[in-house]
Amino acid sequence: MKDALGSGRFGKVSMVIEKNGGGKFAAKQCACRRASQRQEFDLEIDIMNDLAHPKLLQLYDVIYGKADVTFVLELVTGGELFDRVCDESFDLTEQLAVKYIEQICEAISYMHTKNILHLDLKPENILCLSPARIDMIKIIDFGFARRYEPHKPLRIMFGTPEFVAPEVVNFDPLGKGTDVWSIGVITYVLLSGLSPFMGDNEQETLSNVTACDLDFDDESFDEISPEAKEFITKLLQKQERARPSCDECLKQIWLKKAAEDASSHRKSLCVAVTNLKKFVARRKWIRSINAVRAVTKLQAGLRKGGASITTEPCVSEAMKKLTT
């Protein structure tokens, strides 16, 4: 065990060194005291063992303890993508945004060929490979991922309100387009620094998602090409089946044109970066509040007799109201 890399509601992550060979890995340690938690972890492990793609975080080993489980994972040291984009030395352009979105589409396309849905695509789950390779990304966190059978309806009641698709909020059957919606939201945020459906509270955000009222009126979109706006519009269709597949996304004019005519996409997106700094700060504040709530819940549970932080999906009160 070496340096601590981070912590959260799930537990903690530390750097570990392999005794034989000296390889460096990330060890993610999570509480696991109940049978239901064990089932959730077993599902995540089964899915990760089926994923072998350079843009997806790799699982190397799993160690079950008496009251915890440790995932031995590929070590990724570049930090969260949006944190790097907000760095003063970073020059965000539409061309670079295309490179990130291409990689996300390629990774999720691979998952979809395996009939696996990620179902938790958001900025925090997109990391840069290393400080030296911030142009290369890794998608992480497969705790909400599920296997998809086209003729067997899949419904879930979890996710991050700003990034979930309308069918999640409405508790309708999901499909591969559910991940595509999240990619559309991420693209919108990356190019503008704004969240397309964010409301004053969680319930309003979810209402905005189901209304699917999309616009590009903010001044940040004055710098963005028409092809980029068309790309986002196609991904953020209200009906899941109306959205393109990830393979079709990779063939969209915006991605192809940016690669072929780089000069027209090299303009710095200054307004977007300014907005992104506020967006990232707000997201971190929300995560801090959630972490405090989780610790408080854990302490209260321990006083009552051995409860632990749950890794199971939670349904917010706002989502409950919208789906009943």
Lookup: tokens for 300: 């209260």
Q: Are 220 and 92 spatial neighbours (Cβ–Cβ below 8 Å)?
A: no
Residue 215 annotated as catalytic:
no
Q: How far apart are CA 67 and CA 174, in angstroms?
A: 33
Strand pairing partners for 4?
Answer: 14
Integer CA distances (angstroms), 19 to 1, 2, 24, 281, 287, in order:
10, 12, 10, 39, 34
The reply to whether 114 sits in an annotated binding site is no
Q: What is the DSSP string of 211-256?
A: HT-----SGGGGGS-HHHHHHHHHHT-SSGGGSPPHHHHTTSHHHH
Neighbours of 232 (CB within 10 A): 24
**Alpha-carbon distance 271 to 246, whole Å?**
28
Per-residue tokens: 90: 């970073």
Biggest alpha carbon–alpha carbon distance for the chain = 63
- For 149-187, what is the HEC assignment? ECCECCCCCCCCCCCCCHHHHCCCCCCHHHHHHHHHHHH
Give the integer Cα–Cα distance in Å for 313 and 155: 13
Burial of 133 (0-12, 13-18, 19+ CB in 10 A): exposed
- Which of the following is catalytic: 120, 141, 200, 218? 120
CA-CA-CA-CA dihedral for 132, 133, 135, 137, to nearest 10? -140
Cα dihedral 309, 313, 317, 322 in deg (nearest 10)? 180
Q: Assess contact for 42 and 59: CB atoms under 8 A.
A: no
Binding residues: 28
Binding residues for ATP: 28
Residues annotated as part of the active site: 120
